[in-house]
């Protein structure tokens, strides 16, 4: 499955991988299925999350194996429900349940590398506007189940057609062109291949159905700008790095203003800076305040500034997106609601800092925001999420009330790994899911402007300064996915759990019957 994800983007391999796993698990005892599921999970997560190795191979391996542990119940469940009729549906529902659990537990979950995020530019993508990422995962897994069913039934029909029945008499030779004898002992006809053909026809119907779903991309035009200032060379001291990152974004914004005055670029109505564009607290550091304020006044429109700020008590840090007005300065702001465990805050701090000295590099925890990121930015309301919050259905759905969506991110640590392109893929799916233009602003890349239908309007390279200006549609209409919310995920999960209960009950009944006999 992992080559289906960016940067390889071999998207058809996702359902093929699901099919292979089902074939490996079908007919196994649940305990065997669980361990085979774990092995499959390790084989998937280790390569797909290789970008985590940038912070240390131990963290990458541990996180990958923890994620693989969620395939233990998935493997056991698939081995059970494949004993039921209609098992491609039940196995697909179990995939949704696995992703629901993985995306919520523990510490708020880690929903990276969901099946849906491999299908962000395929015929299945438009289904996101109906049922969000869970529906796309379900359909991807369902296609995998149908492929497995077609393989099983087709192979059975082929072997039966190729092998005479053991008690059948040897067929006499007949001249060419004459029919072979038929009867109760004759080999199966082509009708034996109908189930396999039906499964493949269902796969084609699901793919074709996605192409018929409308993905509107019209709306009130708004000219926007995304600034990627880039990060400085390695070797600077910590304070020097922070100052250089801010200076880079200030400089690129001044360059934008100069190009607008020269007429080489249209004047934007709003500008977006990335997460951590200023690691210097502009509320307490006059130099940072003046630098940001000067750049905003120069461009003359509101700028969404990503900055780290101290909490009032000075004990924690807030990861903010601040609306900075050219006349009134900093105003409304959004605080990241889902800080990264073991990265932006440290659970079990007293114990872990004694066992792992590297965690001393997190001297203070990031505070968790408590309110939505919908804010007025120039002529529109924007919905802001920060960094890997884009992977969470609830966080993005909550801000989809905005006319534009914004993802502020800092991918410098994971540059030139699989993680930045995977994050862009998530943004593309979210654009279709909510029918919104998405502005992705990254310190070092990948920054992008994504249309409401998932098309890439602009995309930056990594580790270069970049400036993106475009007229994009601002939209207010809601998709069906917005209206139904989390219901599809919970309904499909319940469907999978119900199938497990039914399969377990059937197994117990069979065991009792065998004991009685």
pLDDT of residue 219 exceeding 60, the answer is: yes
**Is the residue at 488 inside a domain?**
no
**Is the residue at 78 inside a domain?**
yes
| pTM of this structure | 0.93
**Is the residue at 505 inside a domain?**
no
Report the pLDDT value the prediction gives residue 12, as an integer from 0 to 100: 97
* Local structure of residue 117 (DSSP, 8 states): G
Task: Identify the CA nearest to 280 among candidates 310, 252, 254.
Answer: 310
CA 510 – CA 286 distance, rounded (Å): 76
Same domain (yes/no): 208, 227: no
Domain range holding 104?
Answer: 2-163+193-214
> Using an 8 Å Cβ cutoff, are 365 and 257 in contact?
no
Cis status of the peptide bond prior to 220, with omega within 30 of 0: no
Same domain (yes/no): 210, 227: no
Kindly report, residue by residue over 350-393, the tens digit of the pLDDT: 887 777 777 777 889 999 999 999 999 999 999 999 999 999 99
Report the pLDDT value the prediction gives residue 165, as an integer from 0 to 100: 56
Report the percent of the chain where pLDDT is more than 90.
83
Report the pLDDT value the prediction gives residue 511, as an integer from 0 to 100: 79
Higher confidence at residue 380 or residue 242?
Answer: 380
Task: Identify the CA nearest to 40 among candidates 9, 3, 91, 2.
Answer: 2
Q: Which two tokens stand for residue 339?
A: 């800080």
pLDDT band at 510 (very low <50, low <70, confident <90, very high): confident
The answer to whether 171 is a known catalytic residue is no
pLDDT of residue 501 exceeding 70, the answer is: yes
Same domain (yes/no): 280, 209: no
**Is the residue at 39 inside a domain?**
yes
Kindly report, residue by residue over 107-126, the tens digit of the pLDDT: 999 999 999 999 999 999 99
Average per-residue pLDDT in the chain? 92
Place of tokens 């601002």: 474
Report the pLDDT value the prediction gives residue 233, as an integer from 0 to 100: 64
Q: What average pLDDT does this structure show over 390-416?
A: 96
Same domain (yes/no): 256, 204: no
Same domain (yes/no): 209, 226: no
Report the pLDDT value the prediction gives residue 174, as an integer from 0 to 100: 43
Same domain (yes/no): 115, 244: no
Instruction: Determine the Cα angle at 87 with ends 82 and 92, to 5°.
Output: 105
Higher confidence at residue 292 or residue 158?
Answer: 292
Report the pLDDT value the prediction gives residue 351, as an integer from 0 to 100: 81
CA 405 – CA 399 distance, rounded (Å): 7
Question: What percent of the residues of the chain are helix, what percent strand, and what percent coil, each to the nearest 5?
Answer: 50, 15, 35
pLDDT of residue 175 exceeding 70, the answer is: no
Q: Which of 62-76, 225-239, 352-366 has the lowest mean pLDDT?
A: 225-239
Q: Looking at 99, 269, 387, 403, which residue is catalytic?
A: 387
CA 215 – CA 120 distance, rounded (Å): 13
Report the pLDDT value the prediction gives residue 252, as an integer from 0 to 100: 98
Q: Looking at 336, 389, 403, 489, which residue is catalytic?
A: 336
Same domain (yes/no): 151, 122: yes
Q: Which of 142-156, 353-367, 445-459 has the lowest mean pLDDT?
A: 353-367
Tell me the CATH number at 408: 3.60.110.10
Q: What average pLDDT does this structure show over 320-345?
A: 96
- The last residue of a domain, from among 181, 214, 247: 214
Bridge partners (DSSP) of residue 431 are none
Same domain (yes/no): 237, 260: yes
pLDDT band at 187 (very low <50, low <70, confident <90, very high): low
Higher confidence at residue 344 or residue 360?
Answer: 344
For residue 355, count CB atoms less than 10 angstroms from its CB and return exposed for 0-12, middle for 13-18, buried for 19 or more.
exposed
Same domain (yes/no): 376, 450: yes
**Is the residue at 492 inside a domain?**
no
pLDDT of residue 182 exceeding 90, the answer is: no
Same domain (yes/no): 131, 147: yes
The answer to whether 275 is a known catalytic residue is yes
Report the pLDDT value the prediction gives residue 176, as an integer from 0 to 100: 42
Report the percent of the chain where pLDDT is more than 70.
93
Bridge partners (DSSP) of residue 271 are 225, 303
Same domain (yes/no): 421, 444: yes
> Using an 8 Å Cβ cutoff, are 122 and 144 in contact?
no
The answer to whether 501 is a known catalytic residue is no
Query: Domains in the chain: how many in total?
Result: 2
Task: Identify the CA nearest to 118 among candidates 81, 86, 90, 144.
Answer: 144
**Is the residue at 418 inside a domain?**
yes
Within a 10 A sphere around the Cβ of 500, how many other Cβ atoms? 21
Report the pLDDT value the prediction gives residue 149, as an integer from 0 to 100: 98
pLDDT of residue 235 exceeding 50, the answer is: no
Same domain (yes/no): 203, 309: no
Q: What average pLDDT does this structure show over 468-479?
A: 98
**Is the residue at 402 inside a domain?**
yes
**Is the residue at 516 inside a domain?**
no
Task: Identify the CA nearest to 71 among candidates 97, 34, 104.
Answer: 34
Q: Looking at 99, 269, 275, 395, which residue is catalytic?
A: 275
CA 472 to chain centre: 23
Instruction: Determine the Cα angle at 43 with ends 41 and 47, to 5°.
Output: 110
């Amino acid at each position: 499955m992992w080559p289906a994800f960016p940067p390889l983007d071999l998207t058809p391999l996702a359902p093929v991988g699901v099919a292979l796993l089902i074939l490996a698990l079908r007919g196994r005892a649940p305990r065997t299925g669980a361990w085979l599921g774990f092995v499959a999970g390790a084989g998937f997560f280790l390569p797909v999350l290789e970008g985590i190795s940038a912070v240390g191979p131990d963290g990458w391996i541990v996180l990958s194996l923890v994620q693989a542990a969620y395939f233990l119940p998935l493997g056991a469940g698939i081995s059970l429900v494949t004993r039921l009729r209609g098992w491609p549906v039940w196995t697909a529902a179990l995939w949704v349940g696995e992703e629901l659990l993985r995306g919520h537990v523990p510490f708020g979950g880690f929903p990276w590398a969901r099946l849906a995020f491999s299908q962000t530019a395929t015929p299945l993508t438009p289904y996101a506007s109906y049922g969000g990422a869970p529906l796309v995962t379900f359909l991807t897994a369902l296609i995998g189940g149908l492929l497995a069913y077609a393989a099983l039934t087709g192979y059975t029909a082929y072997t039966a057609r190729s092998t005479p029945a053991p008690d059948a008499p040897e067929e006499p030779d007949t001249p060419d062109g004459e029919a072979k004898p038929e009867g109760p002992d004759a080999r199966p006809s082509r009708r034996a291949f109908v189930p396999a053909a039906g499964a493949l026809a269902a796969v084609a119907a699901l793919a074709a159905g996605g192409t018929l779903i409308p993905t509107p991309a019209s709306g009130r035009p708004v000219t926007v700008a995304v600034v990627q200032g880039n990060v400085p060379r390695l070797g600077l001291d910590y304070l020097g790095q922070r100052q250089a990152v801010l200076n880079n974004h200030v400089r690129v914004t001044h360059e934008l203003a100069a190009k607008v005055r020269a007429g080489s670029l249209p004047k934007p109505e709003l500008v977006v800076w990335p997460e951590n564009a200023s690691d210097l607290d502009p509320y307490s550091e006059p130099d940072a305040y003046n630098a940001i304020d000067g750049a905003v006044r120069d461009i003359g429109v509101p700028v969404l500034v990503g900055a780290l700020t101290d909490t009032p008590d000075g004990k924690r840090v807030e990861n903010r997106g601040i609306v900075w007005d050219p006349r009134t300065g900093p105003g409304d702001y959004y605080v990241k609601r889902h800080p990264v465990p073991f990265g932006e805050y440290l659970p079990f701090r007293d114990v872990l800092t004694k066992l792992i000295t590297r965690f001393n590099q997190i001297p203070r925890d990031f505070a968790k925001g408590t309110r939505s990121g919908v804010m007025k930015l120039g002529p529109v309301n924007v919905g802001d999420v920060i960094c890997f919050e884009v992977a969470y259905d609830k966080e993005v759905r909550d801000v989809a009330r905005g006319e534009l969506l914004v993802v502020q991110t800092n991918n410098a640590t994971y540059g030139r790994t699989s993680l930045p392109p995977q994050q862009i893929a998530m943004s593309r799916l979210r654009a279709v899911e909510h029918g919104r233009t998405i502005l992705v602003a990254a310190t070092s890349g990948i920054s992008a402007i994504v249309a409401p239908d998932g098309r890439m309007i602009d995309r930056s390279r990594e580790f270069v300064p970049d400036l993106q200006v475009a007229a994009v549609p601002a939209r207010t209409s809601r998709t069906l996915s917005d209206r139904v919310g989390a219901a599809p995920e919970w309904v499909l999960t319940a469907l999978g759990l119900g199938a497990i209960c039914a399969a377990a009950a059937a197994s117990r009944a069979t065991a009792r019957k065998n004991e009685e006999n």
